[in-house]
Amino acid sequence: MPATLIHLVRHGEVDNPNGVLYGRLPNFTLSALGREMAEATASELCAPGNKITRLISSPLIRTLQSARPFTQKLKVAVQTEPQIIEPTNIFEGKKVALATVLQNPSFLPKLLNPLRPGWGEPYGQIAKRMKKAMKKAWDETTEGEVVMVSHQLAIWMVHLSSAGKPLWHNPRSRRCDLSSVTTFEFRGDKLVEVGYLDPAKTLRKSAIDKGAV
């Protein structure tokens, strides 16, 4: 028997006082509030009745920190999976604003086609690698549920792709909040979204969510 559910968990709030797009840059850790958010999500998913047997994380520090409460509650080791990492982006380390583009004219041609964005990893490639990693985890897990801690755009690409929707979108339309949980299952080879949880909603009232790709 394969796994029964895969929970894609987004990391908590990041300590990002300058409000830059952090992307894959190292050393962007969770804030104190972000750690609280991760704890709230782990508490909800690890509640009695749920059977999480496997924990997988993107290799970036903010996702590994968000996975830590799961390791403490479940007594399972976290496995890293590079296929579920944050997408690349030319704005890493910079504020995403008109001033940034004006100061870097070479960026302008990369912004002309939002349907096939030139500012980072193509949407289709993100969806493909995410779904490949999810299918691998599903098939290799003999029982129970899998938690995979990842990033907003990566998770949103799975949401759109599994629903058969276009991958281009307005980033402000993403329903993938800090420390949220988007749950999927495979029905044969078809990936189906079956739930969305927002355990850190009350904590997020004072959170700053800037810096996501």
β-pair partners for 120: 89
Cα→Cα distances 47→9, 52, 68, 73, 159, Å: 15, 10, 16, 10, 25
The single-letter code of the amino acid at 78 is V
78: nearest Cα among 99, 92, 96, 58: 58
Q: Provide the whole-model pTM.
A: 0.95
Q: Backbone phi, then psi, for 175, in 5-degree steps?
A: -100, 80
Tokens of 191: 């990936």
Domains in the chain: boundaries? 5-206
* pLDDT by position in tens, the chain (length 213): 799 999 999 999 999 999 999 999 999 999 999 999 999 999 999 998 889 999 999 999 999 999 999 999 999 999 999 999 999 999 999 988 777 777 888 877 878 787 778 889 999 999 999 999 999 999 999 999 999 999 999 999 999 999 999 999 998 899 999 999 999 999 999 999 999 999 999 998 889 998 888
Give the angle subtended at the CA of 24 by the CAs of 83 and 34, to the nearest 5°: 95
Looking at residue 197, what is its pLDDT? 97
Answer CATH for 5-206 from 3.90.700.10, 3.40.50.1240, 3.40.50.1580, 3.30.530.20? 3.40.50.1240
Cα→Cα distances 121→62, 86, 90, 138, 203, Å: 20, 10, 9, 25, 31
Looking at residue 98, what is its pLDDT? 72
The single-letter code of the amino acid at 26 is P
How large is the C-alpha radius of gyration of the chain?
17
137: nearest Cα among 150, 122, 124: 150
